[in-house]
Amino acid sequence: GAGVSQSPSNKVTEKGKDVELRCDPISGHTALYWYRQSLGQGLEFLIYFQGNSAPDKSGLPSDRFSAERTGGSVSTLTIQRTQQEDSAVYLCASSLWRGGQNTQYFGPGTRLTVL
Amino acid sequence: AQTVTQSQPEMSVQEAETVTLSCTYDTSENNYYLFWYKQPPSRQMILVIRQEAYKQQNATENRFSVNFQKAAKSFSLKISDSQLGDTAMYFCASAPPSGAQKLVFGQGTRLTINP
């Protein structure tokens, strides 16, 4: 079946602009995660959704970052007033929440470059 | 908080050789989950193998196996009969048994398989 998809694959923007990154999880997966991968910080958790609610958003680095999920499916990560330090690969993952161990399956990521 | 450490930034071996990637972690949990993910140049994070801490038996997946030493908090990955397609970044990760089960990643090991 189809895996996790993300769009766009690459995004170049100017400092101060807003960007939206999209994630389509595997059909039926109730849990969705956003991570950020940057040279300086490695792989960091940003936010977790269970259904449409976000019980853990502890990794969002500032109030410029927000995310939503609708219909228990697609999620959008929005970064307002982008800064150069926001340049990174943003990875989305989903899992089928059944209790116990929930393996996360990743999308190909969106590479964001802020000029 | 969980932490994961990979002490080998880069490794290189010849095709068909066996290679072992190291990973240590720290956690106060008694049960948790451990993973190895592979990230080729395509950026897609691919699950290689997973281990549940309460299981004594080391996980295996074809040419991939782990050496899980719970007391030492060590979780190494062994790749047997290495292939050119194994060239990638390898990340060790841990997740708690409950809550968001968000992944905590190590810094990664860049593995190159030479022909």
Residue A90 lies in a domain: yes
d(C-alpha B23, C-alpha A62), whole Å: 31
B57/B90: higher pLDDT: B90
Which amino acid is present at A115?
L
Task: Identify the pLDDT of residue B28.
Answer: 86
At A101 the pLDDT is 66
Kindly list the structural domains of chain B, giving each domain's residue range(s) and its CATH number in brackets, ordered by start. Answer: 3-114 (2.60.40.10)
Q: Does residue B100 sit at the A interface (CB-CB below 8 Å)?
A: yes
Q: Which residues pair with A78 in a beta bridge?
A: A20, A66
Give me the residue from A102, A103, A108 closest to B44, CB to CB. Answer: A108
What residues contact A22, with CB distance under 8 A and at least 6 apart? A6, A7, A8, A74, A75, A76
Give residue A79's domain range: 5-103
User: pLDDT for A35-92, tens place per residue?
Assistant: 999 987 789 999 999 999 998 999 999 999 999 999 889 999 999 999 999 999 999 9
Tell me, yes or no, whether A79 lies in a domain.
yes
Domain count, chain A: 1
Closest CA to A18 of A66, A67, A81, A63: A81
Mean pLDDT of A10-20: 97
Domain-embedded: residue A65: yes
What residue in B sits closest to A89 (Cα-Cα)? B43
Instruction: Identify which has the larger pLDDT, B53 or B20.
Output: B20
Residue B89 carries which DSSP code?
Answer: E
Q: What is the reported pLDDT for B1? A: 73
Domain contains A110:
no
A 27-86 residues with CB < 8 A to B: 31, 33, 35, 42-43, 45, 48, 50, 55-56, 59
Mutation target vs B (from A104, A110, A111; most B CBs, 10 A cutoff) = A104
The two tokens of residue A30 are 């109730």
> What are B46-81's pLDDT values in tens digits?
999 999 888 888 999 999 999 999 999 999 999 999
pLDDT value of residue A1 = 56
**What is the reported pLDDT for B19?**
97
Q: Which residues pair with A50 in a beta bridge?
A: A31, A53
Which H/E stretch holds residue B61?
strand B60-61
A59: chain B residues, CB-CB within 8 Å: 102
Whole-angstrom Cα distance, residue B106 to residue A60? Answer: 19
Pairwise pLDDT comparison (A41 vs A104), residue with the higher score: A104
Q: Which residues of A87-110 are buried (b: 16+ CB within 10 A; e: fewer)?
A: bbbbbbbbbeeeeebbebbbbbbb
Residues of chain B positioned with their CB less than 8 A from the CB of A32: none
CATH number, domain at A76?
Answer: 2.60.40.10
Nearest to A53 by CA among A25, A80, A30: A30
